[in-house]
Amino acid sequence: MRAALQSQPDQAGRTQSPLTRLDLFPTPAFVFRWAETEPRKPQLVDAVRRHRAESPGVVKTNRRGWHSETDLPAWKEPGVAELVRWAARCVEEASLAMSDAGGDRPRGAWRVSAWANINPPGGHNISHTHAQRNWHWSACYYVDLPDIAREEIGGALVLEERGTGLRVRDNRPSSRESRYIPSEGELVVFPAWLYHRVEPHAGDSDRISIAFNFHHPDLEPSRLWEHRPRWWWRKFPGLLRRIAKLRGTQDWSAGAAPMGYDVMPAGPAGE
Ligand SMILES: [Fe+2]
């Protein structure tokens, strides 16, 4: 954690005091493995392909890949609800693991947004975060990765630590990136504020994944604040919240849950 750097002479030739660098806070990410991976894979692949056939999807961070609407928690195909409830349990576990001194786990339902991705060979996702709408955790579940878990053909999830905002301009790869090569059946959970991207892959078939955002009111005090409500939301939050609820539109008041679906977690993570 502590590293003393060599003292260097300054421009006048004077030797300065040694610098002491403190690397204070690691960035948490968690990998869970679903025990139901094998029997659920064909169900999930069928579900994703059915929606792909019915919807052109949306373009967000996906390049050359298909990104479904964000209504996956409402999909009725077998296996989908089970995956979403298990993923909610995983982020509950991750939250508990982040709680110092044996704090409480979040209680009750999570607000969830989720969508499917199909990246054909060459498909990728550009760097982004999910922190814009009060999300706490983000996650990705890997459904079908034919031949993808080989380093040389790409398709890795690259997590990028930009929290310092400080990087000397040069052409070398950043030491603040971490490249994770996923396996089928894994759920990678990370803070919603963490930048990430998906590399293009050179596999011979599609890379299918399901991405999630999670919000829980118990975590709200810890959220990295990015959204400042417009003045009318700050002035009349109660009234506008009721109107938004009636119209089914986004509640933009401070600390509000983003649009999504309320999901009760399944049994213990990993089961
Ligand atoms: Fe993402």
Could you tell me which of 144, 79, 80 has the C-alpha nearest to residue 112?
Answer: 80
* DSSP line for 222-241: GSPP-----HHHHHSHHHHH
pLDDT tens column, 45-83: 999 999 999 988 777 887 888 888 899 999 999 999 999
Contact 258, 249 (CB under 8 A): no
Alpha-carbon torsion (216, 214, 130, 248), positive or negative: negative
pLDDT of residue 271: 46
Highest mean pLDDT among 87-96, 118-127, 200-209, 226-235: 87-96
- pLDDT at res. 150: 63
**What share of the chain has pLDDT > 90, as a percent?**
42
Has residue 253 been placed in a domain?
Answer: no
Give domain status of residue 269, yes or no: no
Which of these ranges, 15-19, 188-192, 207-211, has the smallest mean pLDDT? Answer: 15-19
Q: How many whole angstroms from 109 Cα to the centroid of ligand 1?
A: 22
Cα of 53 from ligand 1 centre, angstroms: 23
Higher pLDDT, 79 or 256: 79
Q: How far apart are CA 22 and CA 44, in angstroms?
A: 45
How many domains does one find in the chain?
Answer: 1
| Residue whose token pair is 């949306």 | 58
- Residue 70 within a domain: yes
Contact 104, 177 (CB under 8 A): no
215 domain residue, yes or no = yes
Report the separation in Å between the CA atom of 128 and the middle of ligand 1, taken as the mean of its atom positions.
6
How close is the Cα of 10 to the center of ligand 1, in Å? 44
Q: And the tokens for 150? A: 């080989």
Selection from 117, 133, 108, 137 nearest residue 27 by Cα: 137
What lies within 8 Å, CB to CB, of 131 at 6+ separation is 192, 193, 224, 226
The pLDDT value given to residue 82: 97
Distance 246 CA to ligand 1 centre (A): 30
Q: Is residue 14 part of a domain?
A: no
- Let me know if residue 202 belongs to a domain: yes
What distance lies between CA 125 and its chain's CA centroid? 13
Per-residue pLDDT, 270: 46
Q: Output the CA 213–ligand 1 centroid distance in Å.
A: 9
Q: Does the CA dihedral 6-10-13-18 come out positive or negative? A: negative
In the predicted model, is pLDDT for residue 8 greater than 60?
no
What CATH number does the domain containing 32 carry? 2.60.120.620
Residue 251 lies in a domain: no
pLDDT the model gives residue 209:
96
pLDDT for 263: 96
Tell me the C-alpha distance between 134 and 131, whole Å: 6
Rounded CA-CA distance 189/192 in Å is: 9
Residue 111 pairs in a beta bridge with: 215, 262
Q: Which domain holds residue 163?
A: 26-244+258-263
Q: Does 120 map to a domain?
A: yes
Strands 30-33 and 177-180: unpaired
Check pLDDT > 80 for residue 239. Answer: yes
pLDDT score for 1: 46
Judged against a pLDDT cut of 60, whether residue 35 lies above it is answered with yes
Other C-beta atoms within 10 Å of 65: how many?
22
At 226 the pLDDT is 60
Pairing of β 137-144 and β 186-191: antiparallel
What is the spatial distance between Cα 86 and Cα 216, in angstroms, rounded to a whole number? 16
Task: Please determine, for residue 43, whether its predicted confidence score (pLDDT) is greater than 90.
Answer: yes
Expressed in angstroms and rounded, the spacing between residue 170 Cα and the centre of ligand 1 is 26
109 has pLDDT over 90: yes
